[in-house]
Amino acid sequence: MTHMIIRPPHKTPHNLRTWIEIDRVALHHNVERFLQLIGPDVRLMAIIKSNAYGHGLVLTARALAAHRDFSEKGWFGVDSMVEALRLRREGIKNPILVLGMTIAGRIPEAAAHHIALTVSTRDALKTIIATKPRPVFHIKIDTGMHRQGFLPPDIAPLLQFLKKSGLKPEGIYTHFAMPENRAFTLRQIRSFDQTTSAFVRAGFRDIVRHASATRGVLRFPEARYDMVRVGIGLYGYEGNGEKKAGKGKRADAHLKPVLTWKTIVGEIKEIPKGSYVGYDLTERVSRSTQIAVLPVGYWHGYDRGLSSIGTVLLRGGRCRILGRVSMDMTTIDITNINGTGKRDGGKGRGRDEIILIGRSGNDAIWADEIARQIGTTAYEVLTRINPLIKRIEV
């Protein structure tokens, strides 16, 4: 899908019903926060997979590459060759590591475009041996998450295979399953240290070691190694630690959310007391109610689980969702919001903007609050925003 971009200076778009605003200043603030934490000797990999967690793959990569300190030491982490090649076509020069599996037929493209691959199986190594020229690759070690990676009993035969085949990995890495569980994570760190020591003893020196993602960086300074991989933290969220924050508050006060999602009021009407709203008659109003119809729904990524419980911001006030979130429309109660209206016959001037994610006045609704309401994580709330929605850098 094409990720469309509008460049500053920012003006409210008059021809859009919904759009995403990406705050470059907040993004750079978060980058600087992590650069300060890790110090000058540790590299930073920005994880921009999955459309940069909903923020826009190319827009985010360009904004990060424009940051002086990141451009000097920054890497990009993506899920697939599709994402990696898109970045190369857009002129991104930074090192790129594909974190997901790569189909054998695409491995030659990695070598041609200087893209590093993750290797976590013997079959992948055999494919690399048969590829000329061979691509750069990082070995993934499974220290306890039990997803990708070579298990500890595999390490000795793996080292023998690498030496016999003349293969030298650029990097070696693992992934922490639950950094909040200190004892389990320390076991993972010990396992990774034992593996990296075995690589050194086998003659594989000058190898890039990395283990920590956002939560690992914040909780385990001893596990920053040569590089860290920061994803959700770049976008203003700490990760699972956000569960501790209450309504309107955030646990990770040093990070700034980057994404704001806006829409407009499409239609307004007053319905009498006792009226039903939406599909399946799930909500019945107990008073005469002024409603507004928003041109967004679950196709856009606004979760159906928010039906009758979610809120949005209008003129600094909260408006509750009434009834079901539909595929392309959502209805809200605006009875207590004064002066709401399109005011211009729908031509786009002076429209009322609705904040689905973001700040309005003294209140804010961030992805972690929405996640708590529907029993998921900020990761899912953000990444499920439809990539066809226009991203605007502000």
Distance, CA of 115 to CA of 130 (rounded, Å)? 17
Amino acid at 368: D
Is residue 261 helix, strand or coil? strand
Q: Tell me if residue 132 is catalytic.
A: no
**Residue 276 φ then ψ, to 5°:** -90, 155
What string of DSSP letters covers 117-146? EEE-SHHHHHHHHTSSSPPPEEEEB-SSS-
**Residue 349 φ then ψ, to 5°:** -100, 125
Q: What number of CA atoms fall less than 13 Å from residue 253's CA on the CB side?
A: 3
Torsion (CA) 263, 268, 270, 273 in degrees, nearest 10: -30
Handedness of CA 144, 146, 148, 153 (dihedral sign): positive
Distance, CA of 139 to CA of 151 (rounded, Å)? 11
Distance, CA of 99 to CA of 76 (rounded, Å)? 10
Catalytic residue among 93, 243, 244, 279: 279
Rg of the chain taking only CA atoms, in angstroms: 24
Q: Which helix (H) or strand (E) holds 184?
A: helix 182-201
The single-letter DSSP state of residue 10 is: P
Q: Tell me if residue 298 is catalytic.
A: no
Burial of 131 (0-12, 13-18, 19+ CB in 10 A): middle
Catalytic residue among 49, 140, 262, 342: 49
Active site amino acids:
49, 279
